[in-house]
Structure 1
Amino acid sequence: MWSLTMRASTSVAPPGAKTTMTLIWRLGNSWALRGAAPATSRATAAAIRRFIPIIPLPVDGVGRPSLRFIGRNAFQKGPSTVSETENVFRPATPRPAHEGNGMPQSGRTDGPKDPYLLASLHRGLEVLDCFGARNSWSLADLSTHLGESKATIFRVLHTLEQFGYLAKDAATGRYAPGLGLHALGAAAVRHEQLRWQALPPLQDLAESTGETVHVGILHDGVVVTVQIVDGTRAVRMHSAVGKRSPAHASALGKVLMAYLPDGEVDAVIAAQGMARFTERTLTTPGGLREALHRARLDGYAQDEEEIEAGLRCLAAPITDHSGRPTAALAISAPASRMDPARVAALVPQVKATALRISRMLGSPSMAAA
């Protein structure tokens, strides 16, 4: 077993003041936190420091450690400097008074105060977190576990039930995950499946063309890159997973919007606008609709220096198990290497790679192709 012993100075520091504590790794796999140096000789203290790693830790204004431990594996090796502790510890606020109820907490109630944190949503997510550890809960158990009143927890449970994220058993009154949570989980799995199943085809295309290739999805009217393989050429396009790009000005965005109903395209334009990035950026709904119509007919879309001067992209749709285009694959390169002849040669390669990924995702329409 791992044991923690924590000590702090008995004096109360002014609010916000920081003093120093030390973390000492002792024999028997036990750890001790100590504040003021123990009554021992300097020679003894020096001997201890020769064999035991010591880590300075900050202490809050009331003499409590202001850092918390985040896992047993973090203690396998004791870092010797303050900077090395950053990956082992993280700031935390004191736990609420109800923490000592003997039950494991959800782990989401601590952490630095965030002025943008929505308290009601935070509480709802805390409740949902509980269903990761136990499949069903009663109102009374959740109230005790989270240290909240039954009235508060009932309102949270009722709201989650109305949205389908939880289901209530009429016979027992217990709550369990609903179909809404299953749908969210399935969506997350699909995105992870897309990321990693797309990787080998992307690597093949990047190797054969020497250019950077990437996969993106349309999320809230913005293109988000979910996978990327850098090209092999010295001068190439650089991107990163998680990068967000305007849909109206990117090849990925245009090829994905090409398959949306008109109403959804209108919603994207209304929400995101049509900002100008270069002289070639489409800035009118009419011009964008014409480009979307052409992309749907051709089966691919282009970004002809519309986001960044000197950079061109070519994209084709990826369809999922339902046959709908839910992602797209693009190849990007400097405009000097993307003349009309090169684009014409790349189109079949990009479409073939998108088709390959679609087949891997079980697309029924693509499987028959």
Structure 2
Amino acid sequence: MGDSKKDNRHVQSIQRAMAIIETLDKYRELGVTEIAEKLGLERSTVHRILSTLKALGYINQNPTNHKYSNSFRFFEIGNNVIQSLGFRRQAMPFMQELSTKSNEAVNLAVLDGKYVIYIDKIESPATIKVDLPVGKRMPAYCTGLGKVLLAHLPEITVRELFEDEPLIRYTKNTITDIDELCQHLAKIREQGYAVDNEEYVEGLLCIAAPIWGHTKNVVAALSVALPKFRYSDDDDKIAHIRDILLDVARRFSISLGYQPPHIDS
């Protein structure tokens, strides 16, 4: 009964507008009929909503094929949210230190549902680089940053996030079973860091650590991404970068007001 009353307070037109925005985010550019078919809506309803969003500056229309796409207004809003969080400004000295010490690409990300969003990065000075652009939205279950963020959610929450769709296999190393993923996340939680060993992109190795806030919750994740060929399974070099990452992530967390648990000597 309570749930029914809550549902009745939802505004249907807003729900439909958001569904259209998310569909355009997934497919990039679609016509009115295509959107209507994918969402099971009347063509006239879709056209009316698109016209409103276009007038407000949230939707663009291609003058050649007349199809619609999301505008840069969403990027502007997202960037403002990131700036208001203060992570980029506070993180930069730590990211610069990590970049200098590792000589590899450094990334900062937050969790958005079942996805991880890159909110800042420092590129590697090397000629051959790992390019993960700011604003990139990637599946959390097969990336180092995403896994370390998922690892600090309750297991039931992780299962609910992925219950409606299968875990897609991107490489031979991608985990596609939810039970195996939950076991893997438990290990990440225990050891304090995650490794993406060519699970999303072949040839890419990523080591990620959590960033804790003053409420003792994980608020972001920091990673070092490197082309795997450059290390040739050199465990000592990889362990050295991991240790640098964990030290920097710990001090970044402390700067945010996090108090690490006391460990008796």
Cα 1:261–1:201 change in 2 (3 A) is: same
Q: Within the alignment, does 1:345 sit opposite 2:208 as a pair?
A: no
Give runs of aligned pairs for residues 190-201 of structure 1, distance below 5 A. 192-201=85-94
Q: How far did residue 191 of structure 1 move?
A: 5.5
Q: How far did residue 193 of structure 1 move?
A: 1.2
Give the structure 2 partner of residue 245 of structure 1.
138
Q: How far did residue 114 of structure 1 move?
A: 6.0
Aligned with 2:161: secondary structure?
Answer: helix
Distance 1:293 1:361 in 2: 25
Distance 1:278 1:191 in 2: 36
Distance 1:212 1:303 in 2: 14
Q: Bigger relative contact order, structure 1 or 2, given CA contacts below 8 A and separation 6+?
A: 2
Q: Within the alignment, does 1:227 sit opposite 2:120 as a pair?
A: yes
Q: How far did residue 209 of structure 1 move?
A: 1.4
Q: Within the alignment, does 1:314 sit opposite 2:207 as a pair?
A: yes
Q: Would the aligned equivalents of 1:201 and 1:357 in 2 still touch at CA under 8 Å?
A: yes
1:44-76 Cα distance to aligned partner (Å, 9 max, x none): xxxxxxxxxxxxxxxxxxxxxxxxxxxxxxxxx
Q: How far did residue 201 of structure 1 move?
A: 0.8
Q: How far did residue 190 of structure 1 move?
A: 8.0
Give the structure 2 partner of residue 127 of structure 1.
none
- Residue 293 (structure 1) aligned to one of 186, 204, 219: 186
- Residue 358 of structure 1 aligns with an amino acid whose one-letter code is S
Give the structure 2 partner of residue 358 of structure 1.
253
| Bigger mean CA deviation after superposition, 235-244 or 271-280 | 271-280
Distance 1:267 1:117 in 2: 33
Distance 1:327 1:278 in 2: 25
Q: Would the aligned equivalents of 2:82 and 2:119 in 1 still touch at CA under 8 Å?
A: no
Give runs of aligned pairs for residues 1-369 of structure 1, distance below 5 A. 115=50, 117=52, 188=81, 192-271=85-164, 273-338=166-231, 339=233, 340-365=235-260
| Bigger mean CA deviation after superposition, 210-219 or 330-339 | 330-339
- Residue 132 of structure 2 aligns with an amino acid whose one-letter code is S
Distance 1:201 1:344 in 2: 19
> How many percent identity over aligned positions?
31
Q: Would the aligned equivalents of 1:315 and 1:330 in 2 still touch at CA under 8 Å?
A: yes
Distance 1:349 1:116 in 2: 51
Distance 1:245 1:189 in 2: 17
Deviant stretches of 4+, over 4 Å: 116-119, 187-191
Cα 1:191–1:323 change in 2 (3 A) is: farther
- Residue 224 of structure 2 aligns with an amino acid whose one-letter code is I
Cα 1:116–1:221 change in 2 (3 A) is: farther
1:249-300 Cα distance to aligned partner (Å, 9 max, x none): 0011111111111121012212564111111110001221121011011100
Q: How far did residue 341 of structure 1 move?
A: 2.4
Aligned residues: 190
Cα 1:264–1:204 change in 2 (3 A) is: same
Cα 1:304–1:246 change in 2 (3 A) is: same
- What are structure 2's unaligned runs of at least 5 residues? 1-47, 57-79
Distance 2:51 2:208 in 1: 37
- Residue 253 of structure 2 aligns with an amino acid whose one-letter code is S
Q: How far did residue 202 of structure 1 move?
A: 0.5
- What are structure 1's unaligned runs of at least 5 residues? 1-112, 123-186
Q: When you count helix as a share of all residues, which structure comes out higher?
A: 2
- Residue 336 of structure 1 aligns with an amino acid whose one-letter code is F
1:344-367 Cα distance to aligned partner (Å, 9 max, x none): 11111111111121112111337x
Distance 1:224 1:117 in 2: 28
- Residue 225 of structure 2 aligns with an amino acid whose one-letter code is S
Aligned with 1:315: secondary structure?
Answer: strand
Cα 1:359–1:191 change in 2 (3 A) is: farther
The alignment yields a C-alpha RMSD, in angstroms, of 2.4
Bigger radius of gyration: 1
